[in-house]
Structure 1
């Protein structure tokens, strides 16, 4: 067993200082002026602090994370082979049952973990089996990043794939092409979320393959695999949809008649934008969205509250992101149009059949807007809710429900449909 010991800390005691002799009292007029000046100074300082915090908040939203925080504590690693176990500190992430993975050593290490075997409340620990060690030395790891990514490559999920290059307008972007054994003329395009990579979409391959969908698992601008843009900033869907359009064109050029877009979190916003704005939108047959962002204003307000940022500061951050004047602060080449990406307000404009899978316990993108979108447009939107699962981890917590829902719903959408003149397409 490999165990970790906490270093003990010390506390330094400051020496007491003798009070200084009392000074001569100053005139009352002096204190009045000093008080006014102090109030003005405090107000100015408060305004500067609020503006600075708003600027930081705005930049943080659109700036890719180059360093991923490893905030989960590994207490011990035991056994070998099938008996391999990892013991971790109990946290809101690690205590949710299901299959997950951990990244460690700055992302160089990656291991897949199984369902909870032990979680004694008194010990505040969680024990899970180690199903696969993809990379790195787990026995030397002391901290890790919790993730819903459970496969490192399509081969880890049991599928043959080839690496292809998509010619984005910012450069060459890698993607996995995963052919279906009995392919239909509909392809799937997997669009990962903010801060993730294309590995996130590999969880959907089993459902897609069973439906005969050849899959493109793509990278896109500024995600760390595809090329960066000049500003190096996320567009929250307003720019990345162009990369999905390139993927759609690739599919059409290689035998697809139409496509289904799968999107996770911000990938949902990207997919919605592509289905709305692309010149190829008529080829988007359906959307499958996992914990999607359907209203950025709601998400940003929630994130501000979560990070204890005053509401007025959060609103000013949104203003900086959406106003041309704010570009000097945010670094964006162009401002963002949150109204265009508000699908709750635009619910009736959504004309692509859409399945939304969203946990009511999502800790990052609240499910409220998804519920409201489904309520406002029941003709196009089917919503299936989960419990306990955290953000984009519905599959991890209840794989059976996730895959059964996707297979059933998509099978109906992919049934041959009549076209003009009575033809079946």
Structure 2
């Protein structure tokens, strides 16, 4: 005979009943605490995504030999990379240019200093490794002017590098947590092709004005400031415009390609280590932090919900569907060159590969290995530069100008 739950409980001993009730209460409390903890971590992740990031130390200076002009750093996947890089420091020097790896072991990497450091230099141990290399426009030894571009949030600073040869301009858009100096590496390549470069800033990047919320929208609003730069370029004589975006700057450039009122002037995009689908990027970064998959889902859900903006700090709901360019690939109009390392380590190349599959008629992908995030120029400058030159000559410049530029 099957007893009802009430009858079964009634026939049990008082001690057993008490134990069952206690266990149920503890289970319910545990589930509540686990859910609360997951919600807390999700909110922290969401806030981190939209909060402008300050540069943080990611390596340590172990020794400095001013006589030999070498520096020894803590070994990391970035500091072990071959090529030329930069190092943000504090003390008597704020930025150093680094050359090739001279020696390394399991814990340290010795590199050549390309910035001369005198014997009186005093540097704090904490430092940040960078792919910038050039940190000021003067270091390119090209004519330039400082400009202000009017946008809906106010005047955004820019550098203009004029070139003779064509009416083509390239607008350089930096990534998340950096400033426009990140993109200076690309200016000489375009200048050699007779293309004018406009190196821009956008809201909340530390140089351009702050929006009301002071947070990123992952490209959903920042594109408007860059669109203002396209208008600036057209007023200054640009007939055709290339957009070049680095990391989150790639997401911004893609939003212009899909949304800009100046789409008739855009002739192509060059994307360096770009964000093509934010969901893939956030899931990847959560995995690096050993966060469970539901945390990422909750964080994305909060960021794309208007009601959660007071908690996440976002100025408005983040439209992840609109920012997913693979899903919107049919809307693309212009040729796109993507430069991405399969060993990026920050923005996985999966969505870049997916975009090629979705639009093989428009998208060309140059796959690098080892090079890491936005450090492709540093790792293999010749291949990086030649890839851009060939793509421009094939897709943008007419043959007479191409012959002259080449």
How do residues 100-139 of structure 1 correspond to structure 2 at under 5 angstroms? Answer: 100-105=85-90, 109-121=94-106, 124-132=107-115, 139=122
- The DSSP-based 3-state class of the residue aligned with 1:316 is helix
TM normalised by structure 2 equals 0.91
The answer for the alignment partner of 2:7 in structure 1 is none
The answer for the alignment partner of 1:401 in structure 2 is 383
The answer for the alignment partner of 1:32 in structure 2 is 20
CA contact (8 A) 1:361 1:390 kept: yes
Give the gaps of 5 or more residues in structure 1.
1-25, 418-425
Aligned length: 385
TM normalised by structure 1 equals 0.87
How do residues 174-185 of structure 1 correspond to structure 2 at under 5 angstroms? Answer: 174-180=157-163, 182-185=164-167
Q: Following TM superposition, by how much is the alpha carbon of 1:33 offset from its aligned partner in structure 2, in angstroms?
A: 2.9
- The DSSP-based 3-state class of the residue aligned with 2:53 is coil
Distance 1:223 1:126, change over 3 A: same
What is the alpha-carbon distance in structure 2 between the residues aligned to residue 105 and residue 387 of structure 1? 31
- The DSSP-based 3-state class of the residue aligned with 2:323 is coil
Distance 1:92 1:410, change over 3 A: same
Alignment of 1:73 onto 2:60: yes
What is the alpha-carbon distance in structure 2 between the residues aligned to residue 29 and residue 175 of structure 1? 73
Which structure has more relative contact order (CA 8 Å, sep 6+)? It is: 2
The answer for the alignment partner of 1:284 in structure 2 is 266
CA contact (8 A) 2:93 2:123 kept: no
Distance 1:177 1:107, change over 3 A: farther
How do residues 42-121 of structure 1 correspond to structure 2 at under 5 angstroms? Answer: 42-66=30-54, 68-80=55-67, 83-105=68-90, 109-121=94-106
How do residues 297-376 of structure 1 correspond to structure 2 at under 5 angstroms? Answer: 297-376=279-358
What is the alpha-carbon distance in structure 2 between the residues aligned to residue 384 and residue 257 of structure 1? 27
CA contact (8 A) 1:154 1:178 kept: no
Give the gaps of 5 or more residues in structure 2.
1-13, 400-406
Moved more, 331-340 or 383-392: 331-340
Alignment of 1:151 onto 2:100: no
What is the alpha-carbon distance in structure 2 between the residues aligned to residue 275 and residue 237 of structure 1? 12
Distance 1:310 1:31, change over 3 A: same
The answer for the alignment partner of 2:374 in structure 1 is 392
Alignment of 1:235 onto 2:220: no
Distance 1:310 1:247, change over 3 A: same
Alignment of 1:226 onto 2:226: no
Q: Following TM superposition, by how much is the alpha carbon of 1:309 offset from its aligned partner in structure 2, in angstroms?
A: 1.2
- The DSSP-based 3-state class of the residue aligned with 1:140 is coil
CA contact (8 A) 1:164 1:174 kept: yes
How do residues 149-228 of structure 1 correspond to structure 2 at under 5 angstroms? Answer: 149-180=132-163, 182-228=164-210
The answer for the alignment partner of 1:15 in structure 2 is none
CA contact (8 A) 1:110 1:133 kept: no
